[in-house]
Amino acid sequence: MIGLYTVAEIRAAETELMARLPEGALMQRAAAGLATVCAQALGGAYGARVSLLVGGGNNGGDALWAGARLARRGARVDAVLLRPERVHADGLAALLAAGGRVAARGTTDAAHAALRGADLVVDGVLGIGGRGGVDDDVAALADAARADAGLLVAVDLPSGVDPDTGETPGRHVVADLTVTFGASKLALAIDPAAASAGAVHTVDIGLGEHLPPPGAEVLEAPDVETMLPAPGRESDKYRRGVLGVLAGSDRYPGAAALATSAAVVSGAGMVRYAGPASVAAEVRARRPEVVAASDVDSSGRVQAWAVGSGLGPGRDQEVAQVLDTGLPLLLDADALASLPARLDGPALLTPHAGELGRMLGADPADVEAHRLRYAREAAARWRATVLLKGSTTVVADPDGRVRVNPTGTSALATAGSGDVLAGLAGSLLAAGLDPFDAGSAAAYVHGVAGRLAAAEYGYPGASDVLDRLPAAFRSVSRGAAGSQG
């Protein structure tokens, strides 16, 4: 598990640690790590040309001290001082003593010239205390660096992104690599900011024992493996979980086929389908082990429900019948339009940005820009776990906990992919996982399946993702999911 921390949590841990260290020691640890990662990215510092974009304060200080280390290793290091009146004096002195130079002060033509052709540019403009984006002139320099230089490396996080929300409130730096210190920040895992971070490398500076338990986290394969149900010798179909599926319609029969099939291959002991006879026929043609009934009341014993995929309009009464059961629920797609004011039982909602926008009366584009905020708002409003699908899937629990899925892939941006996720997550609910764990584990495995399908087909369809679910489960159990794709 990778913890994600807020600025306040990082600051508090730094304060505790600095009280035990000599003055400046923490910055030296950060600068040493930053210089090492930059040298590795360059394939060696000797003979390389490095340019530093240096803001005021400690973020600029980290860049200057790292620049001094690179200069001592034989790199040519030029500093562009964007806030010369607030430059970190000791860092600048160290850079000059090591043979580095000040190439420009401010966002001048000389600053652009200093970046042009550099092998590596370090973004040391704003740190975790920065808010509200960067100035247009600074943004223009960063854009020029991306166009005319080599690697762009951000110090701690790309300047201009909001560290605590993953939002991009203004113009910001887009990095190839981010070197962050002590612990990962929310902005490095949650879009839209995460898309600007590039690859993320965390440098250990000794904060670990001073950090609180994280309120947000990124799961890794071993974490997911411990969540997944493991049938024992005494297991029967009821111990493995019976999932009821209310999905599909005459217009969208494939949604029911995908959801029920995903539930079967994800370990459900039994899948019961409730819906039109024509859809039931297609479901059973795909999966003859699925037990079909015409409606919710005649479905028989189930332990959880997955509702909504391809359901179509006019099915509110059926959704209400499922809600009245009090069983754990997954509510997807059309079922999200039939929500009561709040949900009293265990529930997992799986909207995309458009659906969540309709649920909350918000513009979907605004939901995309503020993914964490809206996921948390919906979780609190309906007292349910919310799995917000998208470029980075955010799973928010009403108790405030958040998980961000690291296995997402554009391969899942295909019709029917959400139906597969619904069946997968529903099977985990039926097996006894709580909605937060079921949503988190399902998103992870679904992403792995998408990556495996993309590796084979390039542009897979939902059925291809479904077919890779067994391999995805095996991959997670091997702890190898992070190496896929």
Domains and CATH numbers, the chain: 2-218 (3.40.50.10260), 221-483 (3.40.1190.20)
pTM for this model (two decimals): 0.92
Q: Which residue has the tokens 């019709």?
A: 415
Structure tokens at 292: 């079909």
Q: How many helices (H) and strands (E) does the chain have?
A: 18, 19
419 is in an annotated binding site: yes
Taking the alpha carbons at both ends of the chain, their separation in whole angstroms is 20
Ordered alpha helix ranges (H), 431-468 = 435-457, 462-467
61 is in an annotated binding site: yes
391 is in an annotated binding site: yes
Ordered alpha helix ranges (H), 24-153 = 25-42, 57-72, 89-97, 109-115, 136-148
133 is in an annotated binding site: yes
Cβ-based neighbour number of residue 434 at 10 Å? 16
Cβ-based neighbour number of residue 461 at 10 Å? 16
Residues of the chain whose pLDDT is less than 50?
480-485
Identity of residue 216: A
Q: How far apart are CA 196 and CA 172, in angstroms?
A: 8
Q: How far apart are CA 158 and CA 202, in angstroms?
A: 14
pLDDT attached to residue 220: 95
pLDDT attached to residue 108: 93
Q: Which residue has the tokens 């974009």?
A: 53
Q: How far apart are CA 46 and CA 436, in angstroms?
A: 49
Report the DSSP pairing between strands 76-81 and 304-307.
Answer: unpaired
278 is in an annotated binding site: no
205 is in an annotated binding site: no
Q: Which residues contact 464 (CB under 8 A, 6 or more apart)?
A: 453, 456, 457
156 is in an annotated binding site: yes
Whose CA is closest to 77, among 49, 36, 55?
49
55 is in an annotated binding site: no
pLDDT digits (tens, 9 = 90+) for 205-258: 999 999 999 999 999 999 999 999 887 767 777 788 999 999 999 999 999 999
Q: How far apart are CA 298 and CA 370, in angstroms?
A: 42
pLDDT attached to residue 294: 82
pLDDT attached to residue 482: 43
215 is in an annotated binding site: no
237 is in an annotated binding site: no
pLDDT digits (tens, 9 = 90+) for 31-88: 999 999 999 999 999 999 999 999 998 999 999 999 999 999 999 999 999 999 999 9
Q: Is 69 left (phi over 0), alpha (psi -120 to 50) or beta?
A: alpha
131 is in an annotated binding site: yes
Identity of residue 335: A
Peptide bond preceding 212 in cis form (omega within 30 of 0): no
pLDDT attached to residue 94: 98
410 is in an annotated binding site: no
36 is in an annotated binding site: no
Please state, in angstroms and as integers, the Cα–Cα distance from residue 81 to each residue in 102, 154, 178, following that order: 7, 16, 20
316 is in an annotated binding site: no
pLDDT attached to residue 485: 38
3 is in an annotated binding site: no
418 is in an annotated binding site: yes
300 is in an annotated binding site: no
Q: 362 with 374: CB under 8 angstroms?
A: yes
Spell out a b/e string for 268-278, using b for 16 or more CB atoms within 10 Å of the CB, else e: bbbbbbbbbee
204 is in an annotated binding site: no
51 is in an annotated binding site: no
Q: How far apart are CA 138 and CA 135, in angstroms?
A: 5
pLDDT attached to residue 479: 59
pLDDT attached to residue 132: 81
